[in-house]
Structure 1
Amino acid sequence: MLRINNLNVSYGSIQAVRNLSLEVHEGEAVALIGANGAGKTTTVNAISGTIPSRGSILYQGKEINGMAPHKVVKEGIIMVPEGRRIFPKLTVVQNLIMGAYVRKSSKKEVLQDIDRIYQMFPRLAERSKQMAGTLSGGEQQMLAIGRSLMANPKLLILDEPSMGLAPIVVKSIFTTINRIKQEGLTILLIEQNAAMALSVADRGYVLENGEIHFHDTAKNLRERDVVKKAYLG
């Protein structure tokens, strides 16, 4: 579904991503793990079209490198950004409705999907009329994921979904990510929390200093000594 070949991204004289290549096949979850500053968010920003890059980014066989961000979204690539970036002065339900803006759906279909999100995240149903900015960090992450699902993505990119959350909340978020995966949605998961990421992923890539150092099945990466020592503790 997604194939990146020799991606390079520079900020002035600093090369943040170097000759990066990876693939995400339809229906699988792929984890891109690495320490803070490894180039993970830069990679997904290049995919989404928000920063310039060199190299090839093929999505369903179509070159999207250089495509405007709103057109990337219309192609079906939806990102839950680092830091969540919900609309704080809109209610929970208004945030969810905003997620459906790219769709050509009836009001009835949108409301049905909101109900589906509420079933997935009952806490959001309890706070549907509450201003999103007053939610806890975990609730905001639930809302960010729910809002992204309202767009009916073909490829869902999750950028650091565990960031800043308590361990019990992280576990809940990853349980939901695994549920979404089991429903057949293709996922690219960007995470510092390698243990959680590899627990739900089919395959993984380890990014260090802007370069892919390892690529294997999630199971093999979990058992690899160098990955254990550096990322799994």
Structure 2
Amino acid sequence: MLHIDMLNVWYGSIHAVRDLSLSVEEGEVVTLIGSNGAGKTTTLNAICGVLPAKGSIRYGGNELNGVPTHRIVQEGIVMVPEGRRVFPRLTVADNLMMGAYSRRASKAELEREMESVFELFPRLAERKDQLAGTMSGGEQQMLAIGRALMAKPRLLILDEPSMGLAPIVVKDIFQTIRQIKRQGMTILLVEQNATMALSVADRGYVLEHGEIRFHGTAEELKEQGIVKKAYLGG
């Protein structure tokens, strides 16, 4: 579904991502793990057209590099950004409807899809008329994921879904990711919490200083001695 070859991204004179290559097959959960400043979010922003990049980003066989972000969303790539970034002065229901902004769908269809989001996140149903800015961090993360699902993605990108959340909430969020995976969603997951990321992923890539250092199945990365030492505390 997604194939990236020799991706390079700069911030001014800083070479943030170097010759990065990775792939995501349909139905897979692939994780990109690494420490702060490794280049994870930069890579996602390049995929989504937010940052200019050199190299090839192919999605379903079509080249995306240089395609504007709104067109990429329409093609089916939707990102849940780091820090959630909900619309704080809109209600939960209005935030969810904003996720479907780029689609052509009937009101009845959107209402059915919102009900599907509420089935996935019952807490959002309880708070559908509440302003998003008054919700807890965990609830906002649920809302951000629900908003992305309203866009009907073929490839869902999650950027640091556990950031700033209590361990019990992180557990709930990753349980939801497993549930979305069982529904057949293809997911590219960026996480600093390597243990949680590898618990849901099929394959993974380890990024250091903008370069891929290791890649393999989730089980292979768990057993990789260097990865254990650097990322899993082993």
Asked if Structure 1 and Structure 2 have the same fold, meaning a TM-score greater than 0.5 normalized by the shorter chain, the answer is yes
Structure 1: runs of 5+ lacking an equivalent: none
| Residue 182 of structure 1: aligned partner | 182
Tell me which amino acid in the other structure corresponds to 1:193: N
The answer to whether the aligner puts 1:86 opposite 2:98 as a matched pair is no
* Residues in 2 aligned to 1:144 and 1:12: alpha-carbon distance in whole angstroms: 30
| Residue 133 of structure 1: aligned partner | 133
| Residue 70 of structure 2: aligned partner | 70
| Residue 155 of structure 1: aligned partner | 155
TM-score computed with the length of structure 2 as normaliser: 0.99
The answer to whether the aligner puts 1:113 opposite 2:113 as a matched pair is yes
Tell me which amino acid in the other structure corresponds to 1:214: F
SS state at 2:141 partner = helix
| Residue 217 of structure 2: aligned partner | 217
* Residues in 1 aligned to 2:147 and 2:12: alpha-carbon distance in whole angstroms: 34
The answer to whether the aligner puts 1:168 opposite 2:164 as a matched pair is no
1:30, CA displacement in angstroms? 0.1
SS state at 1:229 partner = helix
* Residues in 2 aligned to 1:111 and 1:147: alpha-carbon distance in whole angstroms: 13
| Residue 39 of structure 1: aligned partner | 39
1:104, CA displacement in angstroms? 1.6
> Over residues 191-218 of structure 1, what are the superposed CA-to-partner deviations in whole Å (9 max), with x where a residue is unaligned?
0000000000000000000000000000
TM-score computed with the length of structure 1 as normaliser: 0.99
* Residues in 2 aligned to 1:75 and 1:114: alpha-carbon distance in whole angstroms: 21
* Residues in 1 aligned to 2:24 and 2:90: alpha-carbon distance in whole angstroms: 34
1:105, CA displacement in angstroms? 1.3
* Residues in 2 aligned to 1:79 and 1:153: alpha-carbon distance in whole angstroms: 9
* Residues in 2 aligned to 1:30 and 1:79: alpha-carbon distance in whole angstroms: 14
* Residues in 2 aligned to 1:9 and 1:210: alpha-carbon distance in whole angstroms: 9
* Residues in 1 aligned to 2:182 and 2:211: alpha-carbon distance in whole angstroms: 30
Tell me which amino acid in the other structure corresponds to 1:17: V
SS state at 2:36 partner = coil
> Over residues 16-55 of structure 1, what are the superposed CA-to-partner deviations in whole Å (9 max), with x where a residue is unaligned?
0000000000010000000000000000000000110000
| Residue 202 of structure 1: aligned partner | 202
Tell me which amino acid in the other structure corresponds to 1:18: R
* Residues in 1 aligned to 2:126 and 2:145: alpha-carbon distance in whole angstroms: 17
* Residues in 2 aligned to 1:16 and 1:79: alpha-carbon distance in whole angstroms: 20
1:102, CA displacement in angstroms? 1.7
| Residue 3 of structure 1: aligned partner | 3
1:80, CA displacement in angstroms? 0.2
How much is the aligned-residue C-alpha RMSD, in angstroms? 0.5
* Residues in 2 aligned to 1:30 and 1:205: alpha-carbon distance in whole angstroms: 8
SS state at 1:138 partner = helix
Tell me which amino acid in the other structure corresponds to 1:231: Y
Q: Alignment identity in percent?
A: 69
Tell me which amino acid in the other structure corresponds to 2:43: T
The runs of 4+ residues in structure 1 deviating greater than 2 Å are none
The answer to whether the aligner puts 1:50 opposite 2:50 as a matched pair is yes
Tell me which amino acid in the other structure corresponds to 2:134: T
* Residues in 2 aligned to 1:199 and 1:150: alpha-carbon distance in whole angstroms: 26
Structure 2: runs of 5+ lacking an equivalent: none
